Amino acid sequence: MKISSWAFESVGRPLQPMDRDESPDTGQVVVQVAGCGVCHTDLGFLFEGVPTRHPLPLTLGHEVSGRVVEAGAGAEAWIDRDVIVPAVIPCGRCAACHAGRGMICPDQVFPGNDVHGGFATHLVVPAAGLCAVPDLSDAKVNPAGLELVELSVIADAVSTPYQAIHRSGLQAGDLAVFVGAGGVGGFGVQIAAARGARVVALDVDPERLATMANHGASKTLRVDELSFKELKRAVRDFAAEHEIPTWRQFVFETSGTPAGQQTAFGLLAHGGTLGVVGYTPERVEVRLSNLMALDASAQGNWGCLPEHYPAVVEFATSGRIALRPFIERRPLATVNEALEDIRAHRVRGRVVLEPEI
């Protein structure tokens, strides 16, 4: 299989066109890319020097949807099926996987990090963990009318907050506070609201907050206009207004900034739960003893287990959460421009790159 892609060759330099020949091994498939979302993790590799596990040159991109066009031995049943490729693919065989802890699988495959990713016409990945996409032409299955290319963002931007929320135990009537309401946080707001929670969205961007007020947020707060003390009081008053006790309050850090992480930790209440979803390579100073004093909990979240993907797809295709208003589709050939636009905050939605095959 001849694969055309855009390769990451050195930190801070534009991606370069690269062609290679690659065939699926036993248990692997070749996926023809319909769309690949651009994540801030890709920018971390390219501009911040976050190390990749695969040596350079490397094709980035880990939010992939597409069609299986070739398969190795044992994976032939996937040929001609539309799929979403999980951003993190556990091996399914090791002790961690057998214990239900696939997200710490030492042999996991992260496209665009461990192997060549989706800024390409095709990619080769393990068949294990692939999420089969239902028939999108069936209006009963897909009343939202989504296209395969749009489902690419499920592979990280949607599935990651889904797992964080699922693992937290958030229930209907609970309070969910999202620190950072763009990208992953924006989808998290929608998922929490769809589960029946009352949602407070925090951000510095008034347009983003206005959008989330129409997509699940019961209350929005500008963190750049309030002192932390005022912010905390506003959240506490909202919880009191809706009679939500502190132990039913969940804070999700989805900004991936030092300030956001400090704010999220500071908002923890007695018996509350903190979900750390955003990533920053910078150091963050917090008083860890708060967890003890408040009898609170903090939990990180790495990706999403493949077994949760069908439920996430149903959330999207049923229309319980919206994808299309938050996606900006661009040709794959414009990848470098897209990366620069995202870096410069000139893009409001999730960019999805489409190969011209």
Boundary (domain end) residue, out of 300, 319, 344:
300
* pLDDT tens-digit map of 276-312: 999 998 999 999 999 999 999 999 999 999 999 999 9
Boundary (domain end) residue, out of 300, 327, 343:
300
* Cα 44 → chain centroid: 14
| Gap between the Cα atoms of 65 and 58, Å rounded | 19
With cut-offs at 50, 70 and 90, classify the pLDDT of residue 206: very high
Which pLDDT score, from 0 to 100, does residue 270 have?
Answer: 98
Helix (H, G, I), strand (E, B) or coil at 155: helix
Structure-model confidence comparison of residues 281 and 315, the more confident one? 315
Q: Are residues 53 and 195 in the same domain?
A: no
Number of neighbours of residue 36 by Cβ within 10 angstroms: 34
Q: Which two tokens stand for residue 287?
A: 């008083």
Q: Are residues 87 and 181 in the same domain?
A: no
Q: Are strands 63-71 and 175-179 parallel, antiparallel or unpaired?
A: unpaired
Q: Are residues 44 and 110 in the same domain?
A: yes
- Report pTM: 0.96
| Gap between the Cα atoms of 33 and 236, Å rounded | 46
Q: Are residues 152 and 168 in the same domain?
A: no
Which pLDDT score, from 0 to 100, does residue 116 have?
Answer: 98
Q: How many structural domains comprise the chain?
A: 2
Handedness of CA 46, 50, 56, 62 (dihedral sign): negative
* pLDDT tens-digit map of 8-23: 999 999 999 999 999 9
| Gap between the Cα atoms of 352 and 350, Å rounded | 6
User: Which residues are paired to 331 by β-bridges?
Assistant: 354
pLDDT, average across residues 327-338:
98
pLDDT, average across residues 147-159:
98
Residue 174 pLDDT exceeds 80: yes
Handedness of CA 188, 82, 332, 303 (dihedral sign): positive
Which pLDDT score, from 0 to 100, does residue 53 have?
Answer: 96
pLDDT, average across residues 37-59:
96
Compute the mean pLDDT over every residue in the chain, rounded to the nearest whole number: 97
Helix (H, G, I), strand (E, B) or coil at 142: coil
Residue 31 pLDDT exceeds 80: yes
Residue 357 pLDDT exceeds 90: no
* Cα 38 → chain centroid: 10
* pLDDT tens-digit map of 224-246: 999 999 999 999 999 999 999 99
| Gap between the Cα atoms of 291 and 224, Å rounded | 26
Q: Strands, DSSP E only, in the chain? A: 2-8, 16-21, 28-37, 58-59, 63-71, 82-85, 122-126, 131-132, 175-179, 198-203, 219-222, 249-253, 273-276, 297-300, 327-331, 350-354
Question: For residue 3, is it left (φ>0), alpha (ψ between -120 and 50) or beta?
Answer: beta
Q: Are residues 147 and 286 in the same domain?
A: no
Q: Which two tokens stand for residue 156?
A: 């990280």
Q: Are residues 73 and 172 in the same domain?
A: no
Q: Are residues 50 and 94 in the same domain?
A: yes
* pLDDT tens-digit map of 73-114: 999 999 999 999 999 999 999 999 999 999 999 999 999 999
The total number of residues written for the chain in this structure? 357
Which pLDDT score, from 0 to 100, does residue 281 have?
Answer: 87
CATH of the domain at 213: 3.40.50.720
Q: Are residues 96 and 227 in the same domain?
A: no
Per the structure, the complete domain to which residue 35 belongs is given by 2-156+304-354
Q: Are residues 120 and 36 in the same domain?
A: yes
Q: Which two tokens stand for residue 206?
A: 């008034």
Q: Are residues 167 and 152 in the same domain?
A: no
Hey, what amino acid is at 99?
A
CATH of the domain at 103: 3.90.180.10
Which pLDDT score, from 0 to 100, does residue 336 have?
Answer: 98
Percentage of the chain exceeding pLDDT 70: 100
Q: Strands, DSSP E only, in 141-265? A: 175-179, 198-203, 219-222, 249-253
Q: Are residues 179 and 292 in the same domain?
A: yes
Q: Are residues 253 and 310 in the same domain?
A: no
Hey, what amino acid is at 133?
V
Boundary (domain end) residue, out of 254, 278, 300:
300
Backbone φ and ψ for 159, nearest 5 degrees, come out as: -70, -35
| Gap between the Cα atoms of 244 and 42, Å rounded | 38
Hey, what amino acid is at 71?
A
Helix (H, G, I), strand (E, B) or coil at 148: helix
pLDDT, average across residues 180-203:
97
In degrees, rounded to 5, the angle at the alpha carbon of residue 5 between the alpha carbons of residues 112 and 126 is: 45
Residue 255 pLDDT exceeds 80: yes
Which pLDDT score, from 0 to 100, does residue 322 have?
Answer: 98
Number of neighbours of residue 354 by Cβ within 10 angstroms: 17
Q: Which two tokens stand for residue 237?
A: 């008053």
Q: Which two tokens stand for residue 211?
A: 């959008």
Q: Strands, DSSP E only, in 160-223? A: 175-179, 198-203, 219-222
